[in-house]
A and B are shown apart, each in its own frame.
Chain A
Amino acid sequence: DIQVTQSPSSLSASVGDRVTITCQASQDISNHLNWYQQKPGKAPKLLIYDASDLEAGVPSRFSGSGSGTDFTLTISSLQPEDLATYYCQVYDNLLSLTFGGGTKLEI
């Protein structure tokens, strides 16, 4: 099964900062990676799909990049409402699917 390593596990930043979260897959997954935001007590919300495509309605300060095994979620200018835990989620050609361990973002 595919494994994914997400880092950092927690992050403290200030409003206006540029924030980067990374995920590394255990094998080449092309662009089969999605990013989700989960606010406390809420269900996850899709932010980025296929590594770099912004889900409709998601602010443009969120962006994703990468392919193969290394991927990045960037928040260009952190806002107070971005307080959340962020998860990457990968899948391979055998349709094995797994989530990263999460990054708790504190502001």
Chain B
Amino acid sequence: QIQLLQSGPEVKRPGASVKVSCKTSGFPFSNYGISWVRQAPGQGLEWMGWISAYNGDTDYIQKFQGRVTMTTDTSTNTVYMELRSLRPDDTATYYCARGAWEFQMPTTFDYWGQGVLVTVSS
């Protein structure tokens, strides 16, 4: 069955970087795009951007440009999201989510990872 399994919780100091992983299975990885969505405690959902697993193209929202990098490892069907220069307001649960249709930008998310809580605190 389709699964997106994310890495464990992280605690980071302000200014540090975090890299979270999203290991996928159950579908042809290279045919899909994967997005990252974050959710601050008690708040709504915020789309961060996406990466194409078929050609590595990325698109990040302006808010995160220069601070975020999304990558893939096609040998392990894993997607990574690195966020740098962390601030306390980056404290959130970070989700990976699969685009619903092959070979398209993920505009609809049909499968989600379980989420990773990243806490930024001094």
Give A contacts to B, CB under 8 Å.
Answer: 32, 34, 36, 38, 43-46, 49-50, 55, 87, 89, 91, 95, 97-102
Kindly list chain B residues whose C-beta atoms are within 8 Å of the C-beta of A44: 37, 45, 95, 97, 109, 112
Further 7 A-B residue pairs, CB within 8 A, beyond A44-B112, A49-B100, A89-B47: A43-B95, A95-B105, A97-B47, A98-B47, A99-B46, A99-B47, A102-B44
A95 engages B59 (CB within 8 Å)? yes
In the complex, which of the residues B45, B47, B100, B113 contacts A46, with contact meaning CB atoms closer than 8 Å?
B100
- Tally of A-B Cβ pairs under 8 angstroms: 50
A99 engages B112 (CB within 8 Å)? no
Q: List B residues 28-59 near A (Cβ within 8 Å).
A: 35, 37, 44-47, 59
B45 engages A99 (CB within 8 Å)? yes
A38 to B37, CA, bound (A): 13
Kindly list chain B residues whose C-beta atoms are within 8 Å of the C-beta of A95: 59, 105, 107
In the complex, which of the residues B100, B105, B108, B113 contacts A43, with contact meaning CB atoms closer than 8 Å?
B113
Give B contacts to A, CB under 8 Å.
Answer: 35, 37, 44-47, 59, 95, 97, 100, 105, 107-110, 112-115
Tell me the interface secondary structure of chain B in the complex.
strand
Q: Which residue of A lies closest to B59 (CB)?
A: A95
A14 to B52, CA, bound (A): 43
Whether A49 contacts B45 in the complex (CB less than 8 A), given A43-B115, A95-B59, comes out as no
In the complex, which of the residues B107, B110, B115 contacts A97, with contact meaning CB atoms closer than 8 Å?
B107
Whether A49 contacts B105 in the complex (CB less than 8 A), given A99-B47, A101-B44, A102-B44, comes out as no
